Structure 1
Amino acid sequence: MAAVVSEETFTLTDRQSFAILDWAAEQPQSGLVLRAFLASVALAALRPEEALALRVRDVEVAESGTSWLLIRPQAQERRKRDSDRAVAVRRVPVCRELAAMLKEEAIRRDLHPGDAIFVLDDGRPLTAEVYRKVWRQARAAVLQAHEIDSPLGRHVSALRDARIAEWLKNGDQTAGHLLAVAECAGMSAPRLAERFAYCLRKPTRDEIPWDRLEAALAVPDLPSQPASTARRP
């Protein structure tokens, strides 16, 4: 019988995620673009297919220096897992490191606004077949033997899961915080809470507002006798 473990056991740590990015960058063929692609999944919590669909014009930089990625509907429509997710342009905040990485790719290749960001050094587009092969190699090179034989980081999307988990754990976990994370991740709030329940802090018994709950659930007092109704003559 297989051992029962929590999903948290198989969440990549920041150290493991960044080690994989470093390994990708060191590859002699397409190392920089592979690192940038994996970084967009690891740092912006994009789905791999959403990252593949990114164009230069989808990187938005405000005058304040704040950067965003615009995730277009055509990329979202490929996923039907979250059926209640609104199909609209999604704006995902981007850290300075990722924004600089994407900008470097655009400059290095002299890309135009409508060009795909992630293209291999030989001019071929980066495909799922290519990045999955690279991921298997990176995983084998970075993880320890006992980790390789486990579900840890089995798929590229493990980078996305690790980032979402960090967003949840490092916030106040109020309703507003959960909604903000769900919006950035392109998920519904109920789906987020279900999928990442292990990241949510459970309140202690003393923290539960029992008096307010009791008041909210109380049934209004009913009259002891029904009100008399006047009869028609």
Structure 2
Amino acid sequence: MNSYDVQISDVWKRKDSGGVRRSRPYRLRWKVGGQPFELYYRTKALANSDRARLVHAANAGEPFDTETGRPVTEARTLNMPTWYEHARDYVAMKWPRAAAKTRRSMVEALVVITPVLTKQVKGRPPAAVLRRALYLYGLNPRRWDEEVPAPEAKALDWLARASLPLDALANAATARRALDACAVRLDGKAAAATTVARKRAVFYNALGYAVEREQLSANPIDKIDWKAPQVASAVDRRTVANPDQVAKILDGVRSLGKPGLRLLAFYACIYYTGARPSEVAYLKRSDCRLPATGWGRVTYVETQPRAGGHWTDDGSPREVRGLKHRPRKETREVPAPPELVALLREHIDREGVAADGRLFRSARGNPVSDSVYDRLWKKARKQAFTAEQVASPLARRPYDLRHAAASLWLNAGVSPTRVARRLGHSVEVLLRVYANCVDGDEELMNQRIGQALTGRGVTAALDQAAEGIAEGRNRAGGTAGADDLAEGA
């Protein structure tokens, strides 16, 4: 708590002697908000100097901290944590409400930033050891009570001594060092735009937390002319497969034998319902309506993204979550065309379902992992495409089937509102992401532009106007003049 009620007494020398009193005989007393404070000094000059600082701050109208008795700016400096201490506080604050993958992403960013914000202190550990120590122990609240192995413990001890004070980041050059670290990979090459943007966001939010706690007066990044590489928000049109190309890939999946047949309907669900792979992986039989003929319906209820045991609350590699960007209990129903209904019925007849009702699982009954369906997809893609297509971005990932579905629906004339509902997007996001995938009357537009460029369109319009005016004049017994022609044009 702060107060402007400050009363400062004169320096007074104690006349008694012995022990501490003899070594520090000069006493300064003052009150802040009625709360008394006192300090003792070796010399009168030191006491008067400190008193002068207090008087100057009080005369300047600076508030005083009622807990320490010092001017707020001075108290803030005395209590200033290091960047490493602040990073731990920030992670602890965010951890309870963050998803497992968000926790991992946040820590990955801080692991890159924290070693840069250090002083020159002897005994700096190897970079790999320091990163491992931060990733597994220093910035992971779940493991703060565990015993840290000796190499990592030594690295974290060094970091505690070497970490810069938090207020050092008010210096633009210091904050820029951390931003520059976000922009490069471990091998020194430029990081992907999405990676840079994500790490910068974590750094910015961590500094914002320092502002919230009144440890910094403003976020220093706001004053730095540093921009992350622009992240493309729209889907790359080259990745979007047309229905014939999708059919070829699914035929390629089928040709891979039992591993392919186990996941054929998995890929089909992504394409025919526009779902995310993580949503399809946990689709259950009870969430599907599969009639013998005609359209069916699929309801997506939850996802279980794999984040790793370090980041989940119970230590399991996966975390049960609601649908992305949706409240926990919200579901999404999507019509299933007859083609998908037939594939799902065929899959159930051949593979059955897991004990919990899941449609898709590995050979051992476990949830389908990202690496498995990615690896199988690459094999099927080589089977279905030409060498040129394989080298291109076309349908490079299973996720691109979702883009193909959105493109198909939009170009088929389905309203953006309904397409967004099926994808689980807002209309705004849909139009921003898939703007490049909507085909219009491009040939007709090119024809009109070509006519305008050659002048034929303008000339034809003038000729038509002139003929109409001349015909009218002839009927009226007159002759069209230049003014009439211009007016008609």
Shift in CA distance, 21/63, structure 1 to aligned 2, threshold 3 Å: closer
What residue is the counterpart of 2:296 in the other structure?
Answer: 67
* Correspondence for 1:30: 259
Output one character per residue of 1:67-95: Cα deviation in whole Å (capped at 9) or x when no partner.
Answer: 11110044694775xx4x55511001101
Task: Specify the SS of the correspondent of 1:130.
Answer: helix
C-alpha distance in 2 between matches for 1:66 and 1:152: 29
Q: TM-score, normalised by structure 2?
A: 0.36
- Going from structure 1 to structure 2, the CA distance change for 1:104 and 1:141 (only over 3 Å counts) comes to closer
CA deviations 1:173-209 (Å, max 9, x no partner) are xxxx1111000011111000000112346798xxxxx
Alignment map for 1:39-54 (pairs within 5 Å): 39-54=268-283
Partner of 1:211 in structure 2?
A: none
Summarize deviations over 1:29-48 as a string: whole Å, max 9, x none.
32222111111111111111
* Alignment equivalent of 1:161, drawn from 395, 403, 407: 403
Secondary structure in structure 2 of the residue aligned to 1:136 = helix
Q: Distance in 2 between matches of 1:170 and 1:196?
A: 14
Partners of 2:341 and 2:440 in 1: CA distance: 35
Residues 63, 108 of structure 1: CA spacing in aligned structure 2 closer, same or farther, 3 A cutoff? closer
Quick check: 1:179 aligned with 2:417? yes
Which moves more between the two structures, 192-201 or 108-117?
Answer: 108-117
What is aligned with 2:371?
129
Letter in 1 for 2:339: E
- Give 3-state SS (helix, strand or coil) of 1:196's partner: helix
Asked if 1:21 corresponds to 2:259, the answer is no
Matched, 1:149 2:394: no
Amino acid at match of 2:285: V
Higher RCO by CA contacts (8 Å cutoff, separation 6 or greater): 1
Long gaps (5+) in structure 1: 1-5, 205-233
1:132-157 CA distances to partner (integer Å, 9 max, x unpaired)? Answer: 00111122222222222222222111
Contact 1:119 1:126 in 2 (8 A): yes
Cα deviations across residues 68-127 of structure 1 (Å, max 9, x unaligned)? 1110044694775xx4x5551100110112112112222333437841101244544422
Q: Is 1:100 aligned to 2:337, yes or no?
A: no
Indicate how the Cα distance of structure 1 residues 140 and 107 shifts in structure 2: closer, same or farther if over 3 A, else same. closer
Alpha-carbon distance change, 105 to 63 in structure 1, aligned in 2, over 3 angstroms: closer
What is the distance in 1 between the residues matched to 2:272 and 2:422? 12
Asked if 1 retains the 8 angstrom alpha-carbon contact of 2:352 and 2:359, the reply is no
List runs of 5+ in structure 2 lacking aligned partners. 1-234, 306-320, 446-489
Contact 1:10 1:153 in 2 (8 A): yes
Contact persistence 1:56–1:113 (CA under 8 A):
no
Take 1:133 and 1:30, find their aligned partners in 2: how far apart are those partners? 11
- Is 1:24–1:32's contact at 8 Å kept on the other side of the alignment? yes
Structure 1 distance, partners of 2:380, 2:351, is 25
Q: CA deviation at 1:57?
A: 0.7
Q: Which one has the bigger helix percentage?
A: 2
Q: Which residue of 1 aligns with 2:146?
A: none
Q: Distance in 2 between matches of 1:121 and 1:178?
A: 39
- Tell me the secondary structure at the aligned position of residue 126 of structure 1: coil
Contact 1:59 1:70 in 2 (8 A): yes
Whether the aligned pair in 2 keeps the contact of 1:55 and 1:113 (CA below 8 Å) is no
Residue 430 of structure 2, aligned match among 192, 203, 207: 192
Counterpart residue type for residue 143 of structure 1: F
User: 2:33 aligns to what?
Assistant: none
Q: Hey, what's the Cα distance between the residues in 2 that align with 1:63 and 1:17?
A: 24
| In 2, Cα distance between equivalents of 1:25 and 1:63 | 22
The aligned counterpart of 2:161 is none
Local SS of the residue matching 2:299 = strand
Q: Take 1:149 and 1:201, find their aligned partners in 2: how far apart are those partners?
A: 24
Q: Give the secondary-structure state (helix, strand or coil) at the position aligned to 1:68.
A: strand
Identity between Structure 1 and Structure 2 (%): 28
Q: TM-score, normalised by structure 1?
A: 0.72
Aligned mates of 2:303, 2:253 — CA distance in 1: 28
Q: Write out aligned runs for 1:85-96 (5 A).
A: 85=326, 88-96=330-338
Cα deviation for residue 60 of structure 1 reads 2.0
Counterpart-to-counterpart distance in 1, 2:350 and 2:272: 21
Aligned length in residues: 192
> Residue in 2 aligned with 1:3?
none
Q: 1:12 to 1:63 in 2, by over 3 A?
A: closer
